[in-house]
Structure 1
Amino acid sequence: MKTYNRIMELFWLSIGIIITIMVTVMCLKENFSSWAVYYVFAFMAFGTYLMRRFMRKRMEKHQAFLNGKEQK
Structure 2
Amino acid sequence: MFKPTPTCPLPDIREARIDPTLPVNERLRLFASSVSDPHRFRVGDTAVEVLFDDGAPSLQSCLTNLCKRLQ
Please report the TM-score for the alignment, with normalisation by the length of structure 1: 0.30
More helix by share: 1
Higher relative contact order (CA 8 A, sep 6+): 1
Larger Rg: 1
TM-score (norm 2): 0.30
